[in-house]
Amino acid sequence: MKKRTGKPKQQQVGRWRFYVVFATVALVFFALISRAAYIQVIQPDMLRKQGDARTHRYLADNVHRGMIKDRNGLELAISAPVNTVWADPVTINRYHGLTLEREWRALADVLNDPVDRLLDKVNVAIEKEKRFIYLGRQITPALAEYIDQLDIPGVYLRPESKRYYPYGEVSAHLVGLTNIDDDGIEGIESLYNDELTGEAGKRHVLKDARGQVIKVLNVDEAHPAQDIYLSIDQGIQALAYQELKSAVQYHDADSGSVVMVDVNTGEILALVNSPSYNPNNRNTYSARNARNRAVTDAFEPGSSIKPLVVLSALEFGSVSPGDLIDTSPGWMQIGGRRVRDGRNNGKMDLISILQKSSNVGVTKLALSMPVEHFLDAYYNAGFGTDSGSSILGESSGVFYDRRRWSDFELATLSFGYGLSVTPIQLARFYATIAAGGIQRPLSIIKRDTAPEGDRVFAASSSRQVLRMLERVTEEGGTGTRAAVEGYRIAGKTGTSRKAVAGGYGHDYYSTFVGIAPASKPRIALVVVVNNPKGDEYGGGDVAAPVFSKIAQGALRILNESPDQEGSVTLANRQGGKPSA
């Protein structure tokens, strides 16, 4: 009965309270749906970005840097495996890695770093909450193994590679070197960095929290690095470097360069400079040592340019091979300036002009033809433009392009002053003569086929000049010391004074440029010695002997048969042996 009286009240009170509770529940669930809608479809971008930041990863498929090899496949630059030691300071801190004092001391020992400095570095990084610091780089595999066994939490190894140059300073200028990040910064390493580096592949993946790849989204294939085959022959290169270095030392010279070009293909067979540096030991690196002087340093070539004057005169027809030119009294006056020979040679033919290197003779030849033709010969010889080798830092020399030339200026051009050329340009010019007037762009990369080249001089006149140049190394010439037993050598000495402020001083460039074997030319070789300070300074005394030794070795290495009558048997026997 009590209940019955209570019932209507209950009904009245209960109904609205029920609706309030029902509405509250509905409201709460509506709020849940709204919230889900907001973070799922209305504004999920930030959440997705954060999610992606934790799961999307790019994995690199590293490729080893390519090798640099000489034309026969000898490795000039190789990559050796090394390790980089790095640390995650946050992880070190989290696992109290710094408490392992003994291990840290051992690590510091191996890294060759005072333990205090190492710990300071780590502590500073921990304070800044960094996630990556280098502890040591280019650690050898043996030491890396040791560090791995120390097992310090937060200290990791990363495999990298280090460049190693087996032939050290011999090819340093040419091959160049890489920086610590394995990027080429000099020489071929820099020039062909893209080919040598290849392209690391990239995989876009999803990773779970334990670092396992759960899905590969995208793959960029790796492009393997290429090996670069240089045109040089390391045997010749080593020989050239050795001879040049000893000559530079013997004559107390400032520097020296040797360039050897294959006449038939335009390939550079050797290119060395002294002083050099050891690319495996960066302490020997200095601006002075690192300069690739054979391509960067232009000098006034002096007499070694004279064959060009004879060649252009022959081309023009102002003289013929048998003509005599009167050079007496050993000097001539041009516009108030005087051109001198060492002595009065009287009437000379073209051969003896080159053989005795007569300034008066070439001046007369130069003035016997129109200015344009004369200057064109210089352009055609490749002076003032680069050699086509595209070696880093190549200079194109100095050859003024002006409209008015005085006779005296033309005269100085004819004996190699008033312009400057690099050794490699000079080598290219002689290679052009040797190839019968066909000029080819030089190449430091091995060629499969010889480029056709451009004819810049007539074949006949080129051959005539070549024959004349043979006489330079014969009895009575300036370059007798360049002779190679068993071979006919065509060449020309050059001794030029260095320009100093206000005129010319008493320092010399001593040069010898030659072609061998003269009967069937294979190589053109330039030897330049800068500022020999001994008693001898002429091209015939300083550069010619170096030329002789290098050419002798190179001809043997290249298996060129001797072409000088009378020494065939001996030379054959020598030629059969491999040279050191």
Residue 304 annotated among the catalytic residues of the structure: no
| Residue with Cβ nearer another protein (80 or 213) | 213
Closest approach of another protein to the CB of residue 290, in Å: 48
| Residue with Cβ nearer another protein (54 or 338) | 54
| Residue with Cβ nearer another protein (10 or 246) | 10
Contact of 284 with 278, CB cutoff 8 Å: yes
Binding footprint of another protein, residue count (CB under 8 A): 41
Q: Name the residue type at position 542.
A: V
Contact of 215 with 205, CB cutoff 8 Å: yes
Closest approach of another protein to the CB of residue 143, in Å: 33
| Residue with Cβ nearer another protein (129 or 401) | 129
Which one of the listed residues 79, 171, 276, 303 is annotated catalytic? 303
| Residue with Cβ nearer another protein (32 or 570) | 32
| Residue with Cβ nearer another protein (45 or 565) | 45
Sequential DSSP letters for 245-287: HHHHHHTT-SEEEEEEEETTT-BEEEEEEES---TT-GGG--H
Contacting residue, 28, 287, 501, 580, with another protein by CB under 8 A: 28
Closest approach of another protein to the CB of residue 135, in Å: 24
Neighbours of 558 (CB within 10 A): 17
Contacting residue, 1, 55, 221, 569, with another protein by CB under 8 A: 55
| Residue with Cβ nearer another protein (39 or 80) | 39
Q: Name the residue type at position 262.
A: D
- Is 47 a binder of another protein (CB under 8 A)? yes
CA dihedral 467, 468, 470, 473 (to 10 degrees): 180
| Residue with Cβ nearer another protein (210 or 506) | 210
Closest approach of another protein to the CB of residue 156, in Å: 19
Q: Between residue 69 and residue 108, which ones bind another protein under the rule CB under 8 A?
A: none
- Is 218 a binder of another protein (CB under 8 A)? no
- Is 379 a binder of another protein (CB under 8 A)? no
| Residue with Cβ nearer another protein (209 or 580) | 209
- Is 35 a binder of another protein (CB under 8 A)? yes
CA atoms of 70 and 235, how far apart (whole Å): 9
CA atoms of 274 and 254, how far apart (whole Å): 9
Closest approach of another protein to the CB of residue 153, in Å: 17
Q: Name the residue type at position 513.
A: V
Sequential DSSP letters for 43-105: S-HHHHHHHHHHHEEEEEE--PPPPEE-TT--EEEEEEEEEEEEE-HHHHHHTTGGG-HHHHH
DSSP character for 214? E
Which structure tokens are listed for 442? 């030089």
In what helix (H) or strand (E) does residue 454 lie, and over which residues does it extend?
A: strand 454-455
- Is 317 a binder of another protein (CB under 8 A)? no
Contacting residue, 40, 72, 286, 572, with another protein by CB under 8 A: 40
- Is 131 a binder of another protein (CB under 8 A)? no
Q: Which of 232, 306, 239 is nearest to 527 (CA)?
A: 239
DSSP character for 177? -
Contacting residue, 8, 48, 336, 535, with another protein by CB under 8 A: 48
Contact of 307 with 457, CB cutoff 8 Å: no
In what helix (H) or strand (E) does residue 410 lie, and over which residues does it extend?
A: helix 407-414
Closest approach of another protein to the CB of residue 152, in Å: 22
Closest approach of another protein to the CB of residue 218, in Å: 17
- Is 51 a binder of another protein (CB under 8 A)? yes
Q: Which of 238, 285, 242, 240 is nearest to 260 (CA)?
A: 240
CA atoms of 32 and 363, how far apart (whole Å): 102
Contact of 187 with 165, CB cutoff 8 Å: no
CA atoms of 331 and 479, how far apart (whole Å): 23
Closest approach of another protein to the CB of residue 124, in Å: 22
Question: Rg of the chain over CA atoms, in angstroms?
Answer: 37
Neighbours of 97 (CB within 10 A): 21
Piece of the chain touching another protein by CB under 8 A; list 5-13, 149-157, 439-447, 562-570:
5-13
In what helix (H) or strand (E) does residue 36 lie, and over which residues does it extend?
A: helix 2-37
Contacting residue, 1, 8, 41, 448, with another protein by CB under 8 A: 41
- Is 36 a binder of another protein (CB under 8 A)? yes
Contacts of 153 (CB under 8 A, 6+ apart): 91, 92, 94, 95, 97
CA atoms of 259 and 275, how far apart (whole Å): 15
- Is 200 a binder of another protein (CB under 8 A)? no
Piece of the chain touching another protein by CB under 8 A; list 51-59, 137-145, 188-196, 383-391:
51-59
Piece of the chain touching another protein by CB under 8 A; list 24-32, 226-234, 303-311, 395-403:
24-32
- Is 216 a binder of another protein (CB under 8 A)? no
Contacting residue, 1, 142, 209, 287, with another protein by CB under 8 A: 209
Strand residues in 300-357 grouped as ranges (E): 324-326, 331-334, 337-340, 347-349
Closest approach of another protein to the CB of residue 10, in Å: 7
- Is 210 a binder of another protein (CB under 8 A)? yes
Tokens 């496949």 belong to: 73
Closest approach of another protein to the CB of residue 241, in Å: 58
CA atoms of 241 and 271, how far apart (whole Å): 8
Contacting residue, 127, 208, 252, 326, with another protein by CB under 8 A: 208
Contacting residue, 25, 124, 324, 500, with another protein by CB under 8 A: 25
Q: Tell me which residues are annotated as active site.
A: 303
**Residues engaged in binding another protein (CB under 8 A):** 2-3, 6-7, 10-11, 13-14, 17-18, 20-22, 25-26, 28-29, 31-33, 35-37, 39-41, 44-48, 50-51, 54-55, 206, 208-210, 212, 214
